[in-house]
């Protein structure tokens, strides 16, 4: 992790665009496409040119993905019986 994207630099609990992209292993273009289409939450703006996501926003996104995958597994299992 570079100093630019370290927790000490971004503040505890706030993620930069680079942090989010790094955690999800996606490009900046993909992140903003997901934001634009509602697949990923809009950032908060703590300053006029500063975009951040909270750890909670990120965690909720991941929890939603896990829940959706679990529902698909249950649906697939139910359909097979």
pLDDT band at 32 (very low <50, low <70, confident <90, very high): very high
Choose the CATH number for 3-80 among 1.10.1660, 3.30.43, 1.10.287, 2.30.30.
1.10.1660
In tens, the pLDDT along 15-25 reads 999 999 999 99
Q: Mean pLDDT, to the nearest integer, of 23-35?
A: 98
Q: Report the distance separating Cα 5 and Cα 53, nearest Å.
A: 13
Q: Are the beta carbons of 52 and 46 closer than 8 angstroms?
A: yes
Domain spans of the chain? Answer: 3-80
- Quote the pTM value: 0.75
The answer on pLDDT for 76 being more than 80 is no
**DSSP label at 49?**
T
| CB neighbour class for 43 (10 Å; exposed up to 12, middle 13-18, buried from 19) | buried
């Amino acid at each position: 992790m570079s100093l630019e994207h370290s927790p000490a630099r971004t503040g505890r609990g706030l993620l930069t665009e680079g942090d989010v992209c790094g955690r999800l292993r996606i490009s900046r273009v993909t992140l903003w496409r997901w934001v634009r289409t509602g697949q990923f939450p809009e950032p908060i703006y703590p300053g006029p040119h500063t975009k951040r996501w909270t750890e909670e926003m990120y965690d909720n996104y991941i929890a939603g993905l896990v829940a959706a995958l679990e529902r698909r597994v249950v649906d697939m299992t139910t359909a097979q019986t």
